[in-house]
Amino acid sequence: MDRIAHFTALVAQQPGNALFRFSLAQALDAADRRTEAADHYRICCASRSDWMMPRILLGKLLVRSGDRAGAKPVLEEALRMAVDQHHEEPEAELRALLADL
């Protein structure tokens, strides 16, 4: 079973499980199914106000999709989280991404 099918089945069984949904978003993103991936990343972002990683990946996906205006607030929010949570590497990466927008 491929990763998309695997995590789609898990999300269907447990739609409230944010980790299954995050894994599905990553699998969809890797398959360049950006719209579907973005939907799942957004659900993950809404599920936890302090979860930085889905915001980073959603922001990057939006940049790749050409939606720089949509990516900016998502990446800014992720940057605030990286600073607040003392994640130096993501902070540096986010600052670089935002500088390019």
Name, in order, each residue with C-beta under 8 angstroms of 76's C-beta and a sequence gap of 6 or more.
98
pLDDT below 70 — which residues of the chain?
1
CA distance 90 to 75: 11
The pLDDT value recorded for residue 1 is: 64
- What domains can be seen in the chain, in order of their start residue? 3-99 (1.25.40.10)
The predicted model scores a pTM of: 0.95
SS3 state of residue 75: helix
82: its two tokens: 């990286």
The pLDDT value recorded for residue 11 is: 97
CA distance 50 to 33: 25
52 closest CA partner among 81, 22, 83, 92: 81
The pLDDT value recorded for residue 95 is: 97
